[in-house]
Amino acid sequence: AQKVTQAQTEISVVEKEDVTLDCVYETRDTTYYLFWYKQPPSGELVFLIRRNSFDEQNEISGRYSWNFQKSTSSFNFTITASQVVDSAVYFCALSEADSGGYQKVTFGTGTKLQVIP
């Protein structure tokens, strides 16, 4: 079973549309962190947000917002009024402790977002 599932492989939207990228995770830990990263065509990983398992408050940063719901094990990411520069692959990731107590980060398979002008 996937620990981090991003069911949407590719999404295309027209510029200025809102778009939500889904992320569902699986963990037995009570303490864990969730991340979103953006990977533009140039290839680097750009950190967007980190959320801890005890903070279910939704977060808004400019056009970006995140909806964390422990009840459904989801951490969805919404881009409002999308722009062409938002075109990228977006990865959701889960940080938890492995059996030895060390941090283990697992990435989802990514969602490729294409914003059409």
Partner 1 sequence: EPEVTQTPSHQVTQMGQEVILRCVPISNHLYFYWYRQILGQKVEFLVSFYNNEISEKSEIFDDQFSVERPDGSNFTLKIRSTKLEDSAMYFCASSPRDRVDDEQFFGPGTRLTVL
Dig out the tokens for 80 from the structure: 């409002």
Q: Does 108 bind partner 1 (CB under 8 A)?
A: yes
Q: Does 47 bind partner 1 (CB under 8 A)?
A: yes
Nearer to partner 1, 32 or 79 (CB): 32
Dig out the tokens for 51 from the structure: 């959320």
d(CA 117, CA 103): 41
Q: Does 81 bind partner 1 (CB under 8 A)?
A: no
Q: Does 32 bind partner 1 (CB under 8 A)?
A: yes
DSSP letter assigned to residue 108: -
Phi, psi of 22 (to 5 degrees): -95, 145
Q: How many helices and strands in the chain, by DSSP H and E?
A: 0, 12
Q: Does 28 bind partner 1 (CB under 8 A)?
A: no
User: From the CB of 45, what's the least distance to partner 1, in Å?
Assistant: 5
Name the site residues for partner 1 (rule: CB under 8 A). 29, 31-33, 35, 37, 43-45, 47, 50, 52, 91, 93, 95-98, 100, 102-110
